[in-house]
Amino acid sequence: MSVSVKALCYGFGVTKLQAAVVAWFRAGHRAMPWREARDPYAIWVSEIMLQQTQVKAVIPYWERWMARFPTVTALAEAPLDDVLQHWSGLGYYARARNLHLAAKDVQATYGGSLPRTAAELRQLRGIGPYTAGAVASIAFGEAAPILDGNVARVLSRVFVVDGPPDAAATKKRLWDLAAELVPTEAASDFNQGLMELGATVCVPENPRCLLCPLRGFCGGLEAGRVAELPAKKRKKPPRELDAVAVLVERGQTVFHLRRPPDGLWGGLWEPPWVELDPGEDPADAAIRILSGNGLTATDIQWVGEHTHQLTHRTIRFSVFMATAEGQPVGDDIRWLEPTAKVGVAAWTRTLIETFVSGKRARS
């Protein structure tokens, strides 16, 4: 049976738990540039980037982003291609598109300054309950709860919450606990402290319980259940997909298409590619790609394979290079040099570097 906040009051007390987290965080925590900035916009950008992405990967992206888009106004006024180019390689590109759109909304509605409450922040695109709570509490000191994977793990163990954290009933229980726990004072340090605990001490495997400031409050530790909490959800294996991509050269440029604005890699530039039909020969698919884009091959050859791993799918590309006749035109068609500063996905960059830039370097 899970432990409630009320029950904890009759033991060590919620106030003592809150104080333990805040004191531990203030005594020492990881240095992150957005923590030093204390700028609500910088904190917002960091929280969006940190979704599904580790801190060490985010820091260089955040630094480049803030150098190019130092304010909400700068981001709102930037072209989407520039925004996606600075996000390129970070993945989950809907985050960048929503950040750009939300900046326009902030510029139009709030004069370029972020709203200060979680309720108002929730109205912006790409901001859910966690991000709203994080920005409102860290940037503005609002006593707004947060619940990310790290916090869910800490709360599941301390309060012995059974069930996978992403299950609806469990998630509601954890949000309720987070809301009861966040103090009216020091909400910023408390919430950051919970996140920091989950990231550095109350880790998924081999948690460092002896170093944890909540070891005296932890029901999971007392019950000997830390290793089994939180319950794990069974993951589905990624879907496997066979595809063909064609790198069409013209002089020093390569043919690219812009993807539709929504969905996988939305708004990014990429070489044309298709999923293989069952039993289809990859060479036939390559011809299909060219003809479907108004091009006729004058030379085409298979040059290799590339596998790109996504969270829910594995894409195995058969890669062809071609020269072709025809001059398709349109807003979503470009002939780009390999070094063009536009938004591309990681798989596109790898294909261009491997098969185009690599071939030219060997020539």
Q: What is the DSSP string of 2-49?
A: PPPHHHHHTTT-HHHHHHHHHHHHHH-----HHHHH--HHHHHHHHHH
- Structural domain tally of the chain? 2
How far is Cα 293 from Cα 327, in angstroms, rounded to an integer?
Answer: 9
pLDDT tens string 173-184: 999 999 999 999
Domain, as residue range, for 278:
239-362
Q: Do residue 123 and residue 259 come from a single domain? A: no
Q: 268 with 195, same domain?
A: no
Residue 333 located in a structural domain: yes
Under a CB-based contact definition with an 8 Å cutoff, are residues 141 and 160 in contact?
no
Q: Which of 123, 112, 83 is nearest to 100 (CA)?
A: 83
Q: What is the pLDDT of residue 263?
A: 83
- 219-253 in b/e burial notation, b at 16+ Cβ within 10 A? bbbeeeebeebbeeeeeeeeeeebbbbbbbbeeee
Q: Is 117 inside a domain boundary?
A: yes
Same domain, 38 and 146: yes
**Structure-model confidence comparison of residues 4 and 225, the more confident one:** 225
Out of 258-267, 281-290, 298-307, 313-322, least confident range: 258-267
What is the pLDDT confidence band of residue 10, given thresholds at 50, 70 and 90? very low
Distances (CA, A) of 164 to 146, 173, 195, 303, 336: 17, 11, 18, 45, 46
**Residues 28, 157 share a domain:** yes
CATH number at residue 336: 3.90.79.10
Catalytic site includes residue 222: no
28 lies in the same domain as 164? yes
Residues 217 and 83 in one domain: yes
pTM, two decimals, is 0.83
- pLDDT tens digit sequence for 44-57: 999 999 998 899 99
Claim to verify: residue 169 and residue 266 sit in the same structural domain: no
User: For residue range 86-97, what is the model confidence (pLDDT) as tens digits?
Assistant: 998 888 899 999
- Quick one: 172 and 276 in the same domain? no
Choice among 47, 196, 249, 270 that is catalytic: 47
Whether residue 282 contacts residue 276, with contact meaning beta carbons closer than 8 Å, is answered with yes
100: its two tokens: 């750009």
Dihedral, 215, 220, 221, 223 alpha carbons, nearest 10: 140
Chain centroid to Cα 80, Å, comes to 18
Pair 49, 168 in one domain? yes
Instruction: Compute how many other C-beta atoms are within 10 angstroms of the C-beta atom of residue 168.
Output: 8
Q: Out of 179, 194, 228, pick the residue that ends a domain.
A: 228
Q: Quickly state the pLDDT bin for 139 (edges 50, 70, 90).
A: very high
Tokens standing for residue 13 = 């007390």
232-290 residue pLDDT tens:
877 788 899 999 999 999 999 999 999 988 888 989 999 999 999 998 999 999 999 99
Of residues 174, 159, 168, 153, the one with CA closest to residue 227: 153
